[in-house]
Amino acid sequence: MNTLSIAIHGGAGTLVKGMMTPELEARYKNDLKLALDKGYAILEAGGTAIDAVEVAVKVLEDSPLFNAGKGSVFTATESHEMDASIMDGNTLNAGAVSLITGIKNPISLARDVMEKSEHVFLAGEGAMQFAKELDYTIENDTYFYDDFRHQQWLEIKDTDRFQLDHAKKKDSKFGTVGAVACDQDGNIAAATSTGGMTNKKWGRVGDSPMIGAGNYANNKTCAISCTGSGEFFIRGVVAYDVSCLMEHKNMSLKAASEEVIHKRILEIGGDGGLIAVDANGNVAMPFNTEGMYRASKTSAGVEEVSIYK
Ligand code: ASP
């Protein structure tokens, strides 16, 4: 049997230790472990990588601690616009949604785009129409409201600034969530979900829902989910870049993902990290920030839940 593996992230950034209380750290680790275990249980029961990544991301979307689903940051108009994408490395099928509102689990809507439409990427009102036709419940604003996120927004709402989840001066982190997995058949998959940037406007979309930028999966190479400064991750086509280094330069998962995070994306000014698996169950989780909420588990006995370097 193939080595089973799963890795998840809850965002990267300047996670200043002094700002983190022991209680809060325990809550983060608890929710990461919950997502990890739920995803891994699917793999252990013989389930598919695509099911495992969807389930793990849903747990993180349901946690108010992360900037995805419940806990998504506020836009300039005090609303929430969420983005998500999912990709199956076996078939190269993919689904993505962007600028959606009121959907509890954007990752499931992305999966429905992949499986129930002939398209890959639906955005805004059209994506919402698609959700309504599939009888999705539309949650009201109170479901997504979080005091901490609202405070972040109040601090910058009357400015032209937009910011990645936490302000750089304090605790700059990117709270996007993601999961990658390898199942018993050696099929791999990737899923990513985010609320984007605080105070974003003009229909700003980051890398998370963009296949090849923030999310990618191909059995031949790797499954990747990114977190970081989206504009740079789009320009660097980061997830696909890792895959290309493996495919065309024969690099290992570890070497390729480290090359992109510690060299290529830094060279163009991007900060953040990614999680990656290959079809042999190897895992890599490089980041060039002070920390990244992350966890991984494999049938080879590896288990990790970490925040800092
Ligand atoms: N990459 C995401 C975006 O730019 C942000 C994040 O990773 O938190 O929308």
pLDDT in tens, 7-34: 999 999 876 666 788 999 999 999 999 9
Question: If you measure from the C-alpha of residue 300 to the centroid of ligand 1, how many angstroms do you get, rounded to a whole number?
Answer: 31
Residue with tokens 């990645």: 164
Q: pLDDT (tens digit, 9 = 90+) per residue, 79-106?
A: 889 999 999 999 999 999 999 999 999 9
Check residue 286 and give left, alpha or beta (phi > 0: left; psi -120 to 50: alpha): beta
With contact defined as beta carbons under 8 Å apart, do 285 and 294 qualify? yes
Atom of ligand 1 nearest to the CA of 230: 4
7 alpha carbon – ligand 1 mean position (Å) = 18
Backbone φ, ψ for residue 128 (5° rounding): -70, -35
Q: Ligand 1 site: residues with CB under 6 angstroms?
A: 11, 67, 164-165, 174-176, 194, 196-197, 206-208, 214, 227-228, 230, 233
Residue 204 CA to residue 197 CA, distance in Å, equals: 9
Q: Which of 103, 145, 141 is nearest to 123 (CA)?
A: 103
Cα dihedral 145, 151, 171, 70 in deg (nearest 10): 0
> Which domains, ranges and CATH numbers included, belong to the chain?
5-308 (3.60.20.30)
| Of residues 220, 224, 187, the one with CA closest to residue 208 | 224
pLDDT in tens, 194-245: 999 888 889 999 999 999 999 999 999 999 999 999 999 999 999 999 999 9
Q: How far is the CA of 230 from the centre of ligand 1 (A)?
A: 5
